[in-house]
Amino acid sequence: MAESEQPQIYLITPPEFELSSFPAQLARVLDSHDIACLRLDLASSDEDKISRAADAVRAVAHERDVALVITEHLVLAERLGLDGVHLTDGARSVRSARKMLGKEAIVGAFCGTSRHDGMTAGEAGADYICFGPAGTSDLGDGSRAEADLFQWWSQMIELPVVAEGALDVETVGALAPYTDFFGIGREIWDQDDPVAALGRLITAMG
């Protein structure tokens, strides 16, 4: 990515939300800021619950021409008419997802902090690679996707890269020259005013 280009926002839903209120909240965010893509990222494995959430979120996203992908659920992505899938196992499922969903679908891969997994996923047909957590997090094993990983990727690899996880104003400012997208979710949904919270992160991109 050229350094003059500002990264785009890849919005991630909360792991749980109320169907009665979240779609309106999502609509306010999408109407206030330019969002490139939305990911439905629910903690639940209940297919009925996920399907109802996907229907509600898809209506809001597609009304605004925002693509909607879902974490992991390939079958539901196809059945519910979503735009693609976000895989969390690095490169392992990319080929099978591409074969199942077709060449037009978005297939993304979360690769933690591994350059090797990122390159392998790209060779397997992923549309984007996601590294994280980009900020300091007490989740997982404490590893972090450092700025030099994104800097190396932006110089060596053409495939779009997403920075996500524990983002704050300082981290966003540091990574903005080297990433194509910021995956932003709990950073704004945990705030009283998600629209304003996202605005602060966008401003930090410079």
Tell me the domain boundaries of the chain: 8-204
The larger pLDDT score, comparing residue 20 to residue 139, is at 20
**Structure confidence at residue 31 (pLDDT):** 98
Q: Which of 174, 109, 113 is nearest to 149 (CA)?
A: 113
Q: Are 145 and 133 in contact (CB under 8 A)?
A: yes
Mean pLDDT value of segment 181-194 = 97
**Structure confidence at residue 127 (pLDDT):** 98
Mean pLDDT value of segment 161-177 = 97
CATH dotted code for 8-204: 3.20.20.70
Q: Is the pLDDT of residue 5 over 90?
A: no
Q: Which of 120, 128, 121 is nearest to 183 (CA)?
A: 128
Percent of the chain scored above 70 by pLDDT? 97
67-93 confidence digits (pLDDT tens)? 999 999 999 999 999 999 999 999 999
110-147 confidence digits (pLDDT tens)? 999 999 999 999 999 999 999 999 998 776 677 899 99
**Structure confidence at residue 139 (pLDDT):** 66
Strand partners, 70: 40, 85
The pTM for the full model equals 0.96
User: How far is residue 71's CA from residue 55's CA, in Å, rounded to a whole number?
Assistant: 15
**CB-based contacts of 94, cutoff 8 Å, min separation 6:** 87, 107, 109, 121, 124, 125, 126
Is the alpha carbon torsion for 120, 124, 125, 127 positive or negative?
negative
When mean pLDDT is compared across 12-16, 100-104, 136-140, 202-206, the lowest value belongs to: 136-140
**Structure confidence at residue 137 (pLDDT):** 77
Alpha carbon 24 to its chain centroid, in Å, reads 20
Q: Is the pLDDT of residue 2 over 90?
A: no
